[in-house]
Structure formats: structure tokens, C-alpha cells
């Protein structure tokens, strides 16, 4: 089983809408879709993400198969970079 390390954006406080980053390990065999997430770009511009992220940073929403449903997470990186990390071969197709 191959897993890939990504950096996920996690909301740490509902009241002041602050976020943190954490490492997650994803099995690419269970990835259903990848989509750009422009909402998180706004959160970054508003200064609600941890210090040190470049203001030009992009984000990707990753949907992972989880039994009867899907699990969505937002990870750091544009869609193309995340795809390249998850799928070493450019001919690999997303299942879904």
C-alpha cells in the first residue's frame, strides 16, 4: 500500500475561525476527486492561517472514499502539484 504525505488545513476555533496545519497520509487508491479551493485562498489573505505561508499559496480540496460516503479535506498546494504527489504516473486516472 502506497501512502502520500500531504499538509491539511484544519479549523482549530469555530468562534474566531482560526486554522492550523497538520500532516496527513492519504492512500491515492481511495482519492475520488481533486478541486481547487479558492475559499481557503481568501482565508489566507485575511490572515487566519498560520504565519509563514506565502500569500500566493494555493489550496486543493481532496475527496477520499470512506465506505458509504466521502471525506473532504483541504490541503496546501495547487491541484496539479497535489495530483503529481499522489499519482507518480501521469497516466493514472482518478477513480470515481
**Averaged pLDDT, 61-76:** 92
pTM to 2 decimals?
0.84
Q: Above 50 in pLDDT, residue 70?
A: yes
For 20-56, what is each residue's pLDDT tens digit? 999 999 999 999 999 999 999 999 999 999 988 999 9
Element (H, E) at 64: strand 59-66
End-to-end Cα distance, the chain = 19
pLDDT given at position 42: 93
Q: What is the pLDDT of residue 15?
A: 83
Kindly list the distances between the CA atom of residue 95 and the CA atoms of 28, 68, 77, in Å, as whole numbers in the listed order: 10, 15, 21
Is the model's pLDDT at 94 over the cut of 70? no
User: Cβ of 67: how many Cβ atoms within 10 Å?
Assistant: 6
What pLDDT score does 92 carry? 46
On whether the CB atoms of residues 6 and 75 are closer than 8 A, the answer is yes
Candidates 60, 59, 66, 77; CA nearest to 27 is 66
Worst-scoring range by mean pLDDT, 5-14, 28-37, 44-53, 84-93? 84-93
Amino acid at each position: 500500500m502506497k501512502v502520500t504525505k500531504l499538509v491539511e488545513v484544519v479549523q482549530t476555533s469555530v468562534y474566531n475561525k482560526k486554522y492550523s496545519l497538520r500532516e496527513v497520509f492519504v492512500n491515492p487508491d481511495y482519492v475520488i476527486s481533486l478541486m481547487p479551493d479558492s475559499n481557503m485562498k481568501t482565508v489566507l489573505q485575511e490572515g487566519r492561517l498560520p504565519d509563514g505561508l506565502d500569500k500566493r499559496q494555493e489550496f486543493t480540496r481532496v475527496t477520499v472514499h470512506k465506505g458509504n460516503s466521502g471525506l473532504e479535506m483541504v490541503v496546501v498546494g495547487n491541484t496539479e502539484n497535489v495530483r503529481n504527489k499522489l499519482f507518480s504516473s501521469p497516466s493514472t486516472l482518478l477513480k470515481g
